[in-house]
Amino acid sequence: RIPVFLDCDTGIDDAVALGYLLRSPAVDLVGIGAVSGNTDSSQAARNTLDLLGIAGVTGIPVAVGAHHHFSQDYRGGAAHVHGDNGIGGMQLPRSEQEPDARTAVELLIDLSHQYAGTLHVLAVGPLTNIALALQADPTLPSRVKAFTVMGGACLAPGNITAAAEANIHNDPEAAAYAFAAEVTAQWDATLVPLDVTMQHTLEEQHQHALAASDDPLARVLAEMLDHYMDFYRPIFGRRTCALHDPLAAVIAAGEIGLSDAPRVPLEIDTADGPARGATIADLRGIHRGTGDSSRGGVRIVRAVDRPVIDVLLDTILR
């Protein structure tokens, strides 16, 4: 099983990703960092702990990350998307597990030693904790087998601005740090942008299947999805929602095939203009049918080989 460190801003789709990672036979979730994004890092940690409690899981350390971002202040979460507390306003029973005494950065660095050469780092929020960890220990990538990020919009429109996706836009300098050429030369980096995540939705019948489960975690996910599906209704023209973080989780677990994922140079726009937070992938090679770079770079997932909802439901409702 793949040892995975999850860094998240829990978050309704983060919660679905967590549910999948807890149940996937391909994954050993060894630690979780909380980052400010959909909600602040303390609330994200609380949400994560309470979800672990509902799942009946103990023993996975959950560490709080920095409240503010690497390059800018945290300016409040995405209440219109994820509710005031990140999980659609649901009041979950408080788990007895408390946050780990370490910071998210300390936890990640410790795990990178414990699982040196095998650890997968999966980031589904702003890259604040990851950049801080790289700053604290520049040798980190040499011990990490793979780094998978939900974020960015390459040829697709952004979702927080015309050009940028929320996770990257919340902390563009952190993203620039994590995807700097000298860093990506050392770890196997994959970006799962809106270009592909907006193609993968959870529909009402899937929500109903979760709600009908006798698994308490599945039922809680179904309930919080209400808020998320209301947000997406005007965007898709039907009650549905995009599976951003769950798709990145399934990719990190290796449980879905990548049918179009060229490895190309990637730059993050950190200028203070309309494209701040844009992910500029050099996809010029796609016209030759390759796009593959000999210069290292980042794998940009543009298509996967089946609907991710099938994998999610199979695993969560197993």
What's the rounded Cα separation, in Å, for the pair 298 and 296?
7
Of the two residues 40 and 245, which places its CB atom closer to Ca ion in the complex? 245
* Residue 38 within binding range of ligand BDR, rule CB under 6 A: yes
* Residue 14 within binding range of Ca ion, rule CB under 5 A: yes
Pick the binder of Ca ion from 124, 140, 268, 298 (CB under 5 A).
Answer: 124
Given the rule CB under 6 A, which of 67-75, 160-168, 233-241, 275-283 is the region that contacts ligand BDR?
Answer: 160-168
* Residue 11 within binding range of Ca ion, rule CB under 5 A: yes
* Residue 40 within binding range of Ca ion, rule CB under 5 A: no
List binders of ligand BDR among 5-34 (CB under 6 A): 11, 13-14
* Residue 125 within binding range of Ca ion, rule CB under 5 A: yes
* Residue 190 buriedness (CB in 10 A; 0-12 / 13-18 / 19+): buried
Given the rule CB under 5 A, which of 55-63, 124-132, 177-185, 221-229 is the region that contacts Ca ion?
Answer: 124-132
* Residue 150 within binding range of ligand BDR, rule CB under 6 A: yes
- Of the candidates 279, 253, 276, 275, which has an alpha carbon nearest to the alpha carbon of residue 264? 279
Of the two residues 56 and 157, which places its CB atom closer to ligand BDR in the complex? 157
Pick the binder of ligand BDR from 40, 50, 100, 165 (CB under 6 A).
Answer: 165
Read off the amino acid at residue 106.
E
Q: Quote the least distance from Cβ 157 to ligand BDR, whole Å.
A: 12
Q: At what angle do helices 244-252 and 308-316 cross, to 10 degrees?
A: 80
Q: Quote the least distance from Cβ 177 to ligand BDR, whole Å.
A: 18
**Of the listed 169, 208, 244, 287, which one is catalytic?**
244
* Residue 139 buriedness (CB in 10 A; 0-12 / 13-18 / 19+): exposed
* Residue 207 within binding range of ligand BDR, rule CB under 6 A: no
- Of the candidates 82, 277, 257, 68, which has an alpha carbon nearest to the alpha carbon of residue 176? 277
* Residue 255 within binding range of ligand BDR, rule CB under 6 A: no
Do 51 and 121 touch, CB atoms closer than 8 A? Answer: no
Which conformational region is residue 277 in: left (phi greater than 0), alpha (psi within -120 to 50 degrees), or beta? Answer: left
Of the two residues 160 and 180, which places its CB atom closer to ligand BDR in the complex? 160
Number of Cβ within a 10 Å radius of residue 56: 10
Of the two residues 109 and 251, which places its CB atom closer to ligand BDR in the complex? 251
Q: At what angle do helices 216-236 and 41-55 cross, to 10 degrees?
A: 130
Using alpha carbons, list the distances in angstroms from residue 293 to 116, 151, 182, 297.
27, 21, 15, 7
List binders of ligand BDR among 72-91 (CB under 6 A): 78, 81
Q: Tokens for 189?
A: 């980096």
Given the rule CB under 6 A, which of 64-72, 164-172, 207-215, 304-312 is the region that contacts ligand BDR?
Answer: 164-172
User: Is-catalytic flag, 287?
Assistant: no
* Residue 297 within binding range of Ca ion, rule CB under 5 A: no
Q: Tokens for 52?
A: 């672990």
The b/e string for 29-51 (b: 16+ C-beta within 10 A; e otherwise) is bbbbbbbbbbbbbebbbbbbbbb
Q: Active-site positions?
A: 244
Q: Return residues touching ligand BDR (CB under 6 A).
A: 11, 13-14, 38, 78, 81, 124-125, 150, 159, 165-167, 244-245
Q: Return residues touching Ca ion (CB under 5 A).
A: 9, 11, 14, 124-125, 245
